[in-house]
Amino acid sequence: MHELSLAQSVLEIALEYAEKNNAARVDRLVLSFGRMSCIQPDALETAFEAMARGTRAEGAVLSFEITPVVISCLTCQKEYDIDYQGILSCPSCGDPSVLLVGGTEDLKLIEMEVEQKE
């Protein structure tokens, strides 16, 4: 379950930012990753919630932007967002000569909302 190490990394980044910027607490984190990255949002949320207890990030909401799986067909010369089911082939012509061009992106923290100290 690699979500534990991912949650730990996200928490460390959030807490470091909060400390450097004199934030009272972390309210929300927006994370982005590709559908094929094998990240389970529920598991990541659960791990983050457990690790954040007693910190400035306790109660922070995680939001996810999950990028779709995108293939480029070498025959049709078109790109398609697909619902990946284990087989990569062109949804139009059926040719298996496709390139995976999206949906494998690693986890990124793209936005953070904090509450400033008064």
Q: Do strands 69-73 and 108-116 pair parallel, antiparallel, or not at all (unpaired)? A: unpaired
Query: Are both 86 and 40 inside the same structural domain?
Result: no
Query: Are both 62 and 113 inside the same structural domain?
Result: yes
* Span 87-97, pLDDT tens digits: 788 989 989 99
Q: Which H/E stretch holds residue 42? A: helix 41-52
Query: Are both 56 and 45 inside the same structural domain?
Result: yes
Domain range for 28 is 1-68+104-118
Query: Are both 32 and 58 inside the same structural domain?
Result: yes
Domain count, the chain: 2
Query: Are both 26 and 61 inside the same structural domain?
Result: yes
d(CA 43, CA 61): 14
User: Coil, helix or strand for 30?
Assistant: strand
pTM: 0.85
**CA dist 49 to 25, 46, 53, Å?**
14, 5, 7
Q: Which H/E stretch holds residue 62? A: strand 61-67
* Span 21-58, pLDDT tens digits: 999 999 999 999 999 998 999 999 999 999 999 999 99
